[in-house]
Structure 1
Amino acid sequence: MSQPAAVIDTENYTVTRSVHIKATPDRVWAAITRGDLITQWLGNKAELPDLRVGGEGVFGFEGYGEFPVRIDEVDEPAVFAFTWGTPGQPLAADNSTQVRFTLVPDGDATILSVVESGFGLLSRDPVVAMSSNREGWTSELDELVDYLEGAA
């Protein structure tokens, strides 16, 4: 099934996308919170050793570096949010954005929505950053759907 691409909201400086995944919320939750599963669809390194609000970790992407991550919200299996920043820099409002996942059960499937916000505070061009991340969420969430549905 073809799923809609991520979209940019230039008024609110957000990138959003929802996908329908033929997997239970528990399986989707594991895929977005466990480092060993995150790397199946997002980047090549994921460490979230402390899955609680304030817990810190890192996501790595080949060619882009390692991005610091701080967990902002954990409500298993409904909401997971984190702030991620710029490789080699501590998290700050002008170099980071928040990613918030919400999971809604749909029979034996899950509707996963992501909203990435905070682009308006970045020190670099927010439209360029949103455009890049829109492409990223479109391809990465397609990989997540393929991973979870292929593993079913």
Structure 2
Amino acid sequence: MVNMTDNEASVIDEGAFSVRRSISIDAPIEKVWRAITEPEHISRWFGQTVLDGTGVGAAGTMTFEGYGTIPIRVEAIDEPRSVTYRWSNDDAVRRAGLEDDEARSTVFTFTLDEIAGGTSLTVVETGFDRTTDPAANMADHAVGWVSELDKLVALLEGDA
């Protein structure tokens, strides 16, 4: 059995303006896939998610308590191996009350692989060079991916 305490923290690549985190989950790939692609499942561990459809191009919002609502769109899908989302969540833009701008958005991709005892999930978020404060945003998101993916592990392993 895989234990979430064995999962490493996020890694920031300042040169590539990216954040990466890989975790192991004691759950089958199909279950993890549903948890990262179906709004009703995403809403149980990440942000309250609403999409206007399914598949590439589906758009909607994610709402986080104490943070607000963020536009999100599905950019790519390779079921059940990877899904890519674009979101406009530049922290400085939000604090200034400005309109979210796709030019300052980042993209995150979940990649799944079957492993003994479950699923390996890697998230890579890129595009921080387009944000108003790349270093601060990468640091915030590195912490955020630890928190959010730990919730995903707890949910899926608790339901296993």
Q: What TM-score, normalized to structure 2?
A: 0.88
Runs of at least 5 residues in structure 2 that lack an aligned partner in the other structure: none
Q: Which residue of 2 aligns with 1:125?
A: 133
Pairwise CA RMSD of aligned residues? 1.4
Is 1:103 matched with 2:106?
no
Higher helix share: 2
Q: Which runs of 5+ in 1 are unaligned?
A: none
Cα displacement (A) at 1:48 = 2.3
One-letter code aligned to 1:15: V
Q: Deviations over 1:51-72 (max 9, x none)?
A: 2111101111011111101111
**Paired AA for residue 156 in structure 2:** L
2:93 is the counterpart of 1:85: no
Q: Report the equivalent of 1:144.
A: 152
Any idea what SS the aligned residue of 1:99 has? strand
Query: Would you say how many aligned residue pairs link Structure 1 and Structure 2?
Result: 149
Q: Helix, strand or coil: the match of 2:152? A: helix
**CA deviation digits over 1:16-54, x for unaligned, max 9?**
0000001111100100111111121112x1112422111
Query: What are the Cα deviations for residues 116-137 of structure 1, in whole angstroms up to 9, with x where unaligned?
Result: 0000111x11000000000000
| Shift of residue 76, structure 1, vs aligned partner | 1.0
Structure 1 length normalisation: TM-score?
0.92
Q: Percent identity?
A: 40
Find the residue that maps to 1:39 and give its secondary structure.
helix
Is the counterpart of residue 15 in structure 1 residue 38 in structure 2? no
Q: Give 2:144's aligned amino acid.
A: G
1:31 to 10, 31, 35: 35
Deviation string 1:79-115 (CA, Å, 9 cap, x unpaired) is: 1001000367354122x10010000011341000000
- Runs (4 or more) in structure 1 with deviation over 6 Å come to none
